[in-house]
Structure 1
């Protein structure tokens, strides 16, 4: 099994990389985060890999760090989540963001990943919740934003008002923990208004 590659980066496109290792070019699919973390073409780099063997293909997936590879392994262990869907999740969210979304039971955020529907997002939460989420590289910061409950309800309410999910979360993350949805919304709207 190919576990790690060190060599010269000879190709990089939106779906992956080719690394020349001793005259042999290895093609590895990679997340957007990994693609951004890699150096320029012609430079030496290291990627941590996971080889997936199927009946009809042998696929290689590359990651900038071990934490992203561990997150990939945890995601692909969930039923109905294949390597390409796991890569899509990791292209949209960092491993700590996935961990936080799972810990909060945030199906809406997970379902915003291209190709990941609501039912599969629910399955991710169900199968990963209760497991050791340290494989995602960081402990989920649930306590900092009030956990699920009022925080998520306020975020969903702001999204229903027309704010992007990311914008609503950013404003709510700046708000100290509140006891009600209304207080979260009021503080978030005040912060959003002061930015404009």
Structure 2
């Protein structure tokens, strides 16, 4: 089984990418969040991989961090949640928000993902609520929130790194993106979500 791939990022599409490892191009399906933090082709990229073997195909699903892969595995244990739906969920809900949605029984948050209706959202909540405890989020825990569920927030350092990666994937040079990201985080005194950092940084970079 393939557990990870490290090679040149040859191509990025809406829901997949191609990674060239030693002249062999591997087609890897991924969430929009993972694709957003990949470097700009043809730079070197590393993705964690979940290999799914079917009768008619061997499919590779890529993840930027181990927590997202762990949640992908957990989501696909629910009847009606295939790989495509799991990636759709992870595209709109990063692990901390997904944990919060399931722990609090917030079906509305889950239905933001394509292919997830109210009935499937209820099934996800029912089957996974007791399995959330101990699941990784890839961020530093702060505690509080739903009983039995650890809600986490990113550190300023991790937000800055992720934001620079995302902006690099959008075509900006790291050298120009880094100082802008740092200024945005400083304005918010280090307490800011990744989406807001990227949004504000894009405004400055576009000027």
TM-score, length-scaled by structure 2: 0.66
Q: Is the 8 A contact 2:102 2:128 kept in 1?
A: yes
1:86-139 Cα shifts (integer Å, max 9, x gaps): 000011111111100000000111122111011110011011111135234459
The residue that corresponds to 2:74 in the other structure is: 74
Q: Say which is worse superposed, 130-139 or 3-12, in terms of deviation.
A: 130-139
1:151-171 Cα shifts (integer Å, max 9, x gaps): xxxxxxxxxxxxxxxxxxxxx
Aligned to 1:130, what secondary structure does the other structure show? helix
The residue that corresponds to 1:60 in the other structure is: 60
Aligned to 2:5, what secondary structure does the other structure show? strand
- Runs (4+) of structure 1 exceeding 3 A deviation are 135-147
Q: Shift of residue 65 of structure 1?
A: 0.8
Q: Is the 8 A contact 1:96 1:140 kept in 2?
A: no
The residue that corresponds to 1:34 in the other structure is: 34
More contact order relative to length (CA 8 Å, sep ≥ 6): 2
The residue that corresponds to 1:122 in the other structure is: 122
- Any gaps of 5 or more consecutive residues in structure 2? 149-207
Q: Distance in 1 between matches of 2:95 and 2:145?
A: 17
Q: Shift of residue 142 of structure 1?
A: 8.5
How well do the aligned residues superpose, as a CA RMSD in angstroms?
2.2
Q: Distance in 2 between matches of 1:128 and 1:107?
A: 12
The residue that corresponds to 1:91 in the other structure is: 91
Q: Shift of residue 61 of structure 1?
A: 0.5
Q: Say which is worse superposed, 16-25 or 136-145, in terms of deviation.
A: 136-145
Q: Is the 8 A contact 1:133 1:139 kept in 2?
A: no
Aligned residues: 147
Q: Distance in 2 between matches of 1:46 and 1:138?
A: 19
Residues 109 and 19 (structure 1), Cα distance of their counterparts in 2 relative to 1, 3 Å cut: same
Q: Say which is worse superposed, 134-143 or 120-129, in terms of deviation.
A: 134-143
Q: Distance in 2 between matches of 1:141 and 1:125?
A: 23
- Any gaps of 5 or more consecutive residues in structure 1? 148-196
Q: Distance in 2 between matches of 1:141 and 1:19?
A: 36
TM-score, length-scaled by structure 1: 0.69
Q: Distance in 1 between matches of 2:66 and 2:121?
A: 24
For 1:127-146, what aligned pairs fall within 5 Å after superposition?
127-131=127-131, 132-137=133-138, 143-144=144-145
Aligned to 1:135, what secondary structure does the other structure show? coil
The residue that corresponds to 1:108 in the other structure is: 108
